[in-house]
């Protein structure tokens, strides 16, 4: 009798952690995190091709984690980090070199005009709203009186609502990175598209009181179904990833952003030539 009790108890202690582990795994499953290299194939310079449509040259920088770069992990994983001190160095460089930081609305207006701005300009963007973005990046941006756009996952933001409000009050832009970070190319059904693209916009607008004009696609992927829905729902711009810093209006729903590494030389190259 006592022996079977012990057997039951040990089964309980083995199965419980496994079950909890499974629950955790399944809860994170639809939040897919691509590596920086996966999205380099999209929006290549040659996609812009021969065309008479005017182009504008403005680097759109894409950051993920602002935190000490992990010593372990794959190159791709570590590539998603920019250290807080390197981030400050990069922002200082922009300031000292006379760069104006644009809002998505300003970027849109320039894109629509088809004319390069007189002043050197840049659009700074962050994906996923990680804690380090609030803790390290936001104070630096505030200090240098710069603006940046934070693409927030409406239902899963590590940056709290009160913090988002505070950031907006201090000149930052909060735009949509969908509701739960699903792969938009694999998504099915109008209801799901509406939930990811439209509901996320409404929820974030309600949080910050600021109108949302742009979206960054999770993993930088999306297709015509998303482009059509965002167009219909008052988005002006959709951001993917890429290597180019040259843009044209007709591609406003699939724009290239260049990945930023924790490296000053690569940063300068991204600003002037792209990746």
Question: Minimal distance in Å, beta carbon 201 to Zn ion?
Answer: 16
Q: What six digits make up the tokens of 22?
A: 């499974």
Nearer residue to Zn ion within complex by CB, 67 or 94: 67
Among 128, 184, 207, 213, binds Zn ion (CB under 5 A): 128
Nearer to Zn ion, 88 or 128 (CB): 128
The one segment of 23-31, 73-81, 125-133, 237-245 that binds Zn ion by CB under 5 A: 125-133
Instruction: List the interface residues with Zn ion, window 27-56 (CB under 5 A).
Output: none
Cβ atoms of 215 and 198 closer than 8 Å: no
In the chain, % helix, strand, coil (3-state, to 5) comes to 45, 15, 40
Chain-centroid distance, C-alpha 147: 15
We find the least distance from the C-beta atom of residue 205 to Zn ion, in angstroms, to be 19
- 121: tokens are 């300009």
CB of 171 to Zn ion, least distance (A): 23
Binding-residue total with Zn ion (CB under 5 A): 3
**CB-CB contact of 30 with 82 (8 Å):** no
x/- track of binding to Zn ion for residues 224-263 (CB under 5 A): ----------------------------------------
Task: Indicate whether 175 belongs to the interface with Zn ion (CB under 5 A).
Answer: no
Cβ atoms of residues 215 and 239 within 8 Å: yes
Residue 128: CB minimum distance to Zn ion, A: 4
Three-state SS at 84: helix
Return the sign of the alpha-carbon dihedral for residues 218, 221, 226, 230.
positive
CB of 127 to Zn ion, least distance (A): 4
The least distance separating Zn ion from the CB of residue 14, rounded to whole angstroms, comes to 35
Taking CB under 5 A as the criterion, which residues in 191-230 touch Zn ion?
218
Judged by beta carbon, residue 103 or residue 157, the one nearer Zn ion is 157
Q: Is 177 helix (H, G, I), strand (E, B) or coil?
A: coil
Is 222 exposed, middle or buried, given 0-12, 13-18 or 19+ CB atoms closer than 10 A? buried
Among 80, 127, 132, 208, binds Zn ion (CB under 5 A): 127
- Computed over its alpha carbons, how large is the radius of gyration of the chain? 21
Binding footprint of Zn ion on the chain (CB under 5 A): 127-128, 218
């Amino acid at each position: 009798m006592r022996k079977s009790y012990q057997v039951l108890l040990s089964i309980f202690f083995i199965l419980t952690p496994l079950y909890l582990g499974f629950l955790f795994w399944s809860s994170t499953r639809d939040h897919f995190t691509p590596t920086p290299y996966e999205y380099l194939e999209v929006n290549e310079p040659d996609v812009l091709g021969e065309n008479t449509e005017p182009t504008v040259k403005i680097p759109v920088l894409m950051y993920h984690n602002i935190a000490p770069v992990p010593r372990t992990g794959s190159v791709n994983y570590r590539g998603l980090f920019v250290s807080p001190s390197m981030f400050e160095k990069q922002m200082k460089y922009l300031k000292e070199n006379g760069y104006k930081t644009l809002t998505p609305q300003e970027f849109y207006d320039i894109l629509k005009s088809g004319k390069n701005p007189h002043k050197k300009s840049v659009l700074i963007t962050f994906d996923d709203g990680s804690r380090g973005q609030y803790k390290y990046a936001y104070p630096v941006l505030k200090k240098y009186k710069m603006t940046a756009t934070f693409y927030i996952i409406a239902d899963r933001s590590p940056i709290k609502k009160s913090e988002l409000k505070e950031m907006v009050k201090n000149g930052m832009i909060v735009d949509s990175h969908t509701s739960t970070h699903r792969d938009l190319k694999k998504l099915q059904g109008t209801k799901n598209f509406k939930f990811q693209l439209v509901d996320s916009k409404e929820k974030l607008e309600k949080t910050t009181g600021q109108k949302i004009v742009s979206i960054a696609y999770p993993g930088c992927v999306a297709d015509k179904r998303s482009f059509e829905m965002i167009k219909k729902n008052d988005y002006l711009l959709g951001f993917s990833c890429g290597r180019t810093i040259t843009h044209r209006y007709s591609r406003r729903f699939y724009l290239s952003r260049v990945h930023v590494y924790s490296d000053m030389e690569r940063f300068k190259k991204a600003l002037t030539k792209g990746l």
